[in-house]
Amino acid sequence: MDAGKAIFETVDKLRQRRTAPLVLELDLTEGLTEGPPTDPLSAVLSMRKPRLSDVLAGLKRGRDDSRVKALVVKIGGNPLGLAVVQELRQAVTRFRASGKLTVAFSETYGEFGNGTVPYYLASAFERVYLQPSGDVGLTGVALEQRFVKGALGKLGVGYEMGQRHEYKTAANTFTQDHMTEPHRESMERIVGSVVDQVVAGIAEGRRLDPAKVRELIDRGPFIGSEAVEAGLVDGLAYRDEVYDEVKKAAGSEAHLQYVSRYARAAMVRKLPNPTADGVALVQGHGQIRMGRSGRSPLGGGGAMGSDTVSAALRAARRDDHVKAVVFRVDSPGGSYVASDTVWREVVLTRKVKPVIVSMGDLAASGGYFVSMAADVIVAQPGTLTGSIGVFGGKPVLSELLERIGVNSELVAGGANAGMFSTTRGFSPEQWERVNAWLDRIYDDFVGKVAQSRDLTRERAHELARGRVWTGADARERGLVDELGGLEDALAVARKRAGLADDAPVRVYPRIHPLERLRGAESSEDKAAALARVRIDAWGPLARLSAELGLPAAGPLALPGWYAIR
């Protein structure tokens, strides 16, 4: 009898749990991951991170689910990029518009540090709480670059670099000792655009006048009591107090469930017909390189391999049940040749079915190259994009080596066989070849921008010259079509393909576990798209790139300090 009673009580609890009110929860302490893991190492590293697509799908479904009463989000210290924050704000705003309670809680929005972007995310919620010991680091936006030309000169290290054109400033940290006028102009416009976006978002979310928000930014950071007085937060409370309040508002029987788990459970309960027409989602994250996608075992982000992404686009293109493709791009760029390889597959796919690009935090330089041929480009206002340009060259270590007593001699068979050696500078003839290479890449890039974006070559060059734009500025100039996130891109794809609003989305390439084990039959096989752990980087400079600060993946790359968090 006791065993039967226990079973009955367990079944009853499960039944109540299936029908009780839900409070969706999102913990951003460890940040977010963009797409599904591409290799075993990525799977381990992203194990505790919610997936952005799951969060967006869960919030979208929760808007129309009568069981879902509220959303509570813990905003942690792990920085999120501005565009991802805008994607989350958009999803939260739509969830809030459905009449459901939204609550943001953080132990601190910047502990004795800048917390502008985390607080910007919190401002989208109906109620904002802060732990009594916390702060609101609303101090604005700053981009800072250090110049090491003087220090390297003292060491005997010089740089011979060429760039196309004046706004392509990635190498300036090595070749200049201050910001050039184009460099400063570009940086000031990026900061100004981002501040405008942050001010508008906070003003709307907190029902404050934009001028008041700008005044508060100049007064920040704020200790907790000051933040309450200024109307930036609704109250000071610990986590247990906030969660108790949310559960009380949702109903006495309410229970918590992570948004991503809620989304996956819904997918399991409503498994789509495997042959139903739908949208393919192809992920392209990290620096662009030739070969397969992967992650370095030594740390750092992943890489977008041209073989992997190209195979995924081919698989989606040849699948008759795929009616449109969404290509999610979050990349600072990298290899020109690899970018061109992916560009070609986008062009071929577009001839068969619509291709929509959804830009993440970064889709610049090579990241813009792989995106520009799409039918529609969707970016967040804070996405950093453009950077249509190129640079290249090498460090020259001859003086440094001489100072430390290292002598280097070269035996070469060919006038230019040693031109990439870092122990000597370029000869005039070699420098001519470097400039011919840079001109060829820039001309090809600008020509394809003009063709893809229906611009004159003169207008494309005017927008290019290596300049980085925010998504908002890029849209005004015709480099981007629409402002929005992944859900918006999927909606555009469904509409263009004539699909229903709830048509399924499938990540490509779709590879069965057995196909992963047996390996690829050929380069046309879906299994050829599998990622791998990577170690190598940029051609002849691979060994020196990490030590000397060069972008690890190649000449079409945005420097790492272009990060707004």
DSSP 25-44: EEE-TT--B-S--SSHHHHH
- 62, 24 in Cβ contact below 8 A? yes
Rounded to whole angstroms, the Cα distance separating 308 from 432 reads 35
Report pLDDT for 461: 97
pLDDT digit string (tens) for 135-153? 999 999 999 889 998 998 8
At residue 478, the 3 state secondary structure works out as coil
Report pLDDT for 451: 96
Report pLDDT for 293: 82
Please indicate, yes or no, whether the overall pTM of this predicted structure exceeds 0.85: yes
Sort 266 into a burial class: Cβ within 10 Å, 0-12 / 13-18 / 19+: middle
Tell me the sheet residues that pair with 163: 391
Report pLDDT for 301: 59
Retrieve residue 361's tokens: 């935090």
Residues counted in the chain: 565
Rounded to whole angstroms, the Cα distance separating 515 from 530 reads 10
Rounded to whole angstroms, the Cα distance separating 276 from 324 reads 13
Rounded to whole angstroms, the Cα distance separating 67 from 530 reads 39
Q: E strand or H helix at 282, and its extent?
A: strand 278-285
Q: Cα separations (Å) of 506 from 48, 266, 281, 490, 546?
A: 23, 15, 6, 11, 36
Mean pLDDT over each residue of the chain, to the nearest integer:
86
Tell me the sheet residues that pair with 401: none
Higher local confidence (pLDDT), 293 or 315: 315
User: Is the pLDDT assigned to residue 541 strictly greater than 90?
Assistant: no
Tell me, what DSSP letter sits at residue 501?
A: T
Report pLDDT for 443: 97
The domains located in the chain, with CATH, are: 20-139+220-266 (3.90.226.10), 273-532+539-557 (3.90.226.10)
Confidence of residue 298 (pLDDT cuts 50, 70, 90): very low
User: Is the pLDDT assigned to residue 303 strictly greater than 90?
Assistant: no
Q: Cα separations (Å) of 491 from 51, 59, 378, 440?
A: 19, 15, 11, 38
pLDDT digit string (tens) for 114-135? 899 999 999 999 999 999 999 9
Report pLDDT for 384: 96
Which residues participate in catalysis according to the annotation? 168, 365
pLDDT digit string (tens) for 43-80? 555 556 789 999 999 999 999 999 999 999 999 877 89
Report pLDDT for 302: 75
pLDDT digit string (tens) for 305-328? 999 999 999 999 999 999 999 999
The bridge status of strand 222-223 relative to strand 135-136 is: antiparallel
pLDDT digit string (tens) for 181-228? 999 999 999 999 999 999 999 999 999 999 999 999 999 899 999 999
Retrieve residue 451's tokens: 């063709």
Report pLDDT for 540: 44
